[in-house]
Amino acid sequence: MWDVGGVVAFFGQVDVERKSTKKKHNPLPNSPSVRLFDNLHTQSFISVLQGLSLMSSNTAPSSSGGAGSADPTSTRRHSKRPKYSRFTQQELPACKPILTPRWVISAFMLVSIVFIPIGVVSLFASRDVIEIIDRYETDCIPTPFRSDKVGYIQGPGDKKCNRTLKVTKNMKHPIYVYYQLDNFYQNHRRYVKSRSDQQLRDPKSENQVDACKPEDKAGGQPVVPCGLIAWSLFNDTYSFSRKKQQLTEPLTVNKKDISWKSDRDHKFGKKVFPKNFQNGTLRGGASLDPSKPLSEQEDLIVWMRTAALPTFRKLYGKIEVDLEAGDELHVTLENNYNTYSFSGKKKLVLSTTSWIGGRNDFLGIAYLTVGGLCFFLAMAFTVVYLVKPRQLGDPSYLSWNRNPGGH
């Protein structure tokens, strides 16, 4: 409990000492600065008394509980102080390591020892992947039409093209067949949003095509599947045959299970069938079989998973036999897809896989870069520590302990 009388006596003592000091040292007792000090002193004294009065009223016992009883929860109920806990007061056990030069050098060296071997192994695994890449968008245009590629690809007629690929190394099955598109921005905002996920799942939602414009309806009827993504479905086709020891045999491309299982099971309905698809005035890409549900149209499912970058590959199928070095692959393709309007490129890719997936040197190069940088820093800190050591926690290095010259 605060002693109001003691506070008054304290301020009185301070006032006496102030006046005696003022008489000794202040030649102008009635100056404005002295009067200002007196006013501030008086105001602070009054503020303290008011605060003590308020605290006394808050802690006074309740009249309803009798003179000798007080509500034990009244103070807790009116208090804004948070409940005490070691977590809120930051009193939990904590590890506060001191980064000495030896610890820093050891940490950098440990990272380099771990990362560099991982990078080397990843890079060798990536280099073990065998790829055959064939760019064909220009070669599959007849020479007389190469001055007007867009007119040729949009015109009628057969657009078959024969390509020959040479197998330079043994390729073990499964051999994945991809088509690669360059300069195709599937991540464009309007393109990505032009779809109806509810329509793809539920046959009762075929009229929910508001987000699919401009490919939402054809002839006044809703399009299933609607939107620009489905409308622009890739429609180049490939068929393969192998020439081995003067014998030619066809190669079957397996197009089953080329999409994500989660997409087949949850994003594309088993009772949703294509309806009114590619019936508009402008044809975008491939057609769909109206007798097969969307969950079985795996070319569409693969295409509908949009790519994040303008250069991407999508799985076309799998070849389930081994290919040997020296084999010749004859590819008969139909060059139907229009990439000439936006200067795009088309490539056919055959690839094997390793334990890290397809061929991608980025992972190995990233590990080698980080490991090499850590090794360089460890060596540099070691040289500095040996050539010019310094005592840990030396206060002479503090800025206020240095002379103006900085030495």
Return the SS3 of 75: helix
Calculate helix-pair angle for 32-58, 4-25, nearest 10 degrees.
170
Is the CA virtual torsion 162, 167, 173, 179 positive or negative? negative
User: Which segments of 29-174 are extended strands (E)?
Assistant: 131-135, 160-166
Q: What is the pLDDT of residue 405?
A: 55
Computed on alpha carbons and rounded to an integer, the radius of gyration of the chain in Å comes to 40
Residue linked to tokens 């044809």: 283
**Contact between 94 and 371 (Cβ < 8 Å):** no
Instruction: Please state, in angstroms and rounded to a whole number, the distance separating the CA atoms of residues 63 and 67.
Output: 7
b/e sequence 95-121, b meaning 16+ C-beta within 10 Å: eeeeeeeeeebeebbebbeebbebbee
- pTM assigned to the model: 0.70
Q: Dihedrals φ, ψ of 163, to 5°?
A: -130, 150
CA distances from 231 to 18, 223, 238, 365, 383 (A): 91, 10, 20, 39, 64
Q: What are 145-170's pLDDT values in tens digits?
A: 999 999 999 888 889 999 999 999 99
Return the biggest CA–CA distance within the chain.
124
Distance of CA 93 to the CA centre of its chain: 33
Q: What are 196-225's pLDDT values in tens digits?
A: 999 999 989 889 998 998 888 888 889 999
Task: Kindly state the DSSP code that residue 251 receives in the 8-state scheme.
Answer: E
Q: Which residues pair with 239 in a beta bridge?
A: 332
* Strands 253-254, 160-166: pairing kind: unpaired
Q: What is the pLDDT of residue 403?
A: 65
b/e sequence 258-297, b meaning 16+ C-beta within 10 Å: bbeeebbeebbbeebbbbbbbeeeeebbbebeeeeebbeb
Residue linked to tokens 């302990």: 401
Residue linked to tokens 């799985």: 315
pLDDT, average across residues 391-396:
79
Q: What are 66-116's pLDDT values in tens digits?
A: 444 455 555 556 777 778 888 888 888 888 888 888 899 999 999 999 999
